[in-house]
A and B are shown apart, each in its own frame.
Chain A
Amino acid sequence: MAKQQPARTSLPCGVGLGLKHDQVPHLLQSPGPLRFVEVHAENYLVDGGPFHEDLMQVRARHALSMHGVGLSIGGDAPLDIGHLRALRALLDRYEPKAFSEHLAWSGHSGIFFNDLLPLAYTHDSLQRVCDHIDQTQAALGRRMLLENPATYLEFEDTEIDEASFITQVIRRTGCGLLLDVSNVHVSGVNHHRSVHDYLRALPLDQVGEIHLAGFSEQSDARGDPLLIDSHGCAVAPAVWALYAFALGLTGPVPTLIERDNDIPAWEVLLGEAAQAACMLDAVAQVPLCT
């Protein structure tokens, strides 16, 4: 496979952090190894106030990535045109270097669940997801990245495995891949599948960004481990190892540390960022393996 690196995003090829509003002063004073920051788009769909003032300051100094959590690309209902318009206005205002969304759905019949819900991978849903991404990229005037999900369930009427589904979506729509390595691990454990086979089956030359996050552990009805994509603790050793494996296949890719709950001291987050930066540097020194 050719390992030429197409310009899959214009994010700098370093480490970023998922940023919360009250971390802005930390970021402006001590950015450490951070080369970009990512914010949730929906948090900024408000009229005005300090959120917007701060984001203007942030984008003046740092590359910005916007990550949507509410578009429901995997939903069986039509996309919300008003939401697409609001996103377009937000993207035009802040000109982020990347925009990403999830292979999931988050609302139904006018209710928003604030969670990323799983879809069955069928020929019908493949067509629908492709239509939704075509519509999104046209409405936003940009290429988007699609994130592989963390899931806890599978569906009896599944017709296509997840990696093939994602591969076909990317081929048909021209969107890029946001490779969430933690989600690969979480779903791998939850569905007892080989994470290495899963990764090798993805179109890794289309990865525009990587996500790393912490998970929590429960067990299912049979006592087998069930991992929860909690974003509430440090990146686990198994995920760091899988990240190293993924980088061996992709080469250096802009990498984000996500932390949404039980947020530790800023220095602790910078420590995780530094670890990812070291691994990125290391992979930049060596030729890609195949």
Chain B
Amino acid sequence: MHISGQADFAQRLLKPDLPCPSGLKTWNGSDPAPRFAVYRNNVVVSLVDALAQTFPVTQALVGEAFFRAMAQVFVHAHAPTSRVLAHYGAGFGDFVAEFPPANSLPYLADVARLEMLRVRAFHAASPAALDIKALAPWLANAQALDSLTLVLHPSLQLLQSRYAVYGLWAAHQSEPGQWEQALAQVDPNEPQTCLVFRDGRDVRVQSLGDGAARFLVGLQQGLPVAQAARGAERQDPGFDVTEPMAALLRHAQIVGISSFGDTAAD
């Protein structure tokens, strides 16, 4: 096959409406189209399978047939650009949001975005947690918190949603057979913010209050602890900084510190 041969073959793989490429041959002189269709099928099915693995709750919410049909449209429109398929589907949430047949489930896109964050957290780098002793002098001195910035674990991510994305996801974690009952308890229109992080081997998903969410966003932006806490208090007068700080330490989510004015540790 000359240079244009593979380009043509490649293009026709993802365009099922086009006939199979010219220049193909079979030993018995049969029409090569069904043989070319094996490649088309391998490509689409393997990629739809990869999406099904990443988005199990999204699939459960719409059913397997709907999910696979939707995923197939996604594959044709957004074939992978990386050989590393672990991150394939990064744009799936945005695609779902604009996919008209899924309009009746406005929360579906955020559920998909949450599932993608879980995969990213699973494969995120594994830096060693900070030794709590390194942090102790800072925590003992309230003024020091004005200049202390934290480097959080690279797996830690937030998702703010207008929908009950945590409740919908968590309902699916219930025992088999009880998922529909658990789902019925969820009001999908309750806005929720999710925290996703990996603690050791386990990816965890938690629902966050407004104050804690604001605090963590502040820390991720590189604000000193005290300043991030003040922002959180403005958002949520009942916010208590000791709770999220204790949780960050308990789950080994602080991987570095620097004092304000230093270049932030990577």
Contacts and interface: CB of A to CB of B under 8 A. Distances in A.
A binds B: yes
A80 B29 CA distance: 37
B142 interface: no
Interface stretch (A39-47, A177-185, A251-259): A39-47
Contacts of A106: 83
A127 interface: no
A290 interface: no
A125 B87 CA distance: 32
A76 interface: yes
Interface in B7-22: 7, 9-10, 13-14
A83 B83 contact: yes
A218 B38 contact: yes
Give the interface residue-count category, chain B. Answer: 35 or more
Contacts of A224: 28, 30
A193 B28 CA distance: 12
A120 B3 CA distance: 11
Interface in A12-63: 42-43, 45-53
Contacts of B81: 110-112
Contacts of B14: 111
A117 B9 contact: yes
A28 to B, nearest CB: 14
Given A220-B35, A226-B34, A112 B80 contact: yes
Contacts of B43: 113-115
Interface stretch (A1-9, A149-157, A194-202, A268-276): A149-157
A112 B78 CA distance: 11
Contact of B198 (A45, A49, A124, A228): A49
A79 B265 CA distance: 35
B39 A115 contact: yes
A154 B25 contact: yes
A123 to B, nearest CB: 12
A242 interface: no
B38 A120 contact: no
Contacts of A45: 83-84
A226 B38 contact: yes
B42 interface: yes
A244 B84 CA distance: 36
Contact of A155 (B7, B23, B84): B23
A252 to B, nearest CB: 33
Given A76-B6, A153-B35, A192 B1 contact: no
A193 B83 CA distance: 33
Interface stretch (B91-99, B121-129, B170-178): B121-129
A106 B6 CA distance: 10
Interface string A97-117: 000000001111111111101
Nearest to A52: B126
Contacts of A114: 43, 46-47, 50, 80, 85
Nearest to B40: A115
A122 interface: yes
B2 interface: yes
Contacts of A228: 38
Nearest to B47: A114
A111 B14 CA distance: 10
A119 B36 CA distance: 13
A191 interface: yes
Contacts of B85: 42, 112, 114
A221 B33 contact: yes
A117 B10 CA distance: 9
A158 interface: yes
B1 A42 contact: no
Given A76-B2, A153-B39, A220-B28, 4 more contacts: A117-B10, A120-B1, A192-B27, A226-B34
7 contacts: A42-B85, A50-B122, A113-B10, A113-B80, A124-B2, A157-B5, A220-B34
Interface of A: 42-43, 45-53, 69-70, 75-77, 80, 83, 105-115, 117, 119-120, 122, 124-125, 152-158, 190-193, 218, 220-222, 224, 226, 228
Interface of B: 1-3, 5-7, 9-10, 13-14, 23-36, 38-39, 42-43, 46-47, 50, 79-87, 122-127, 154-155, 198, 201
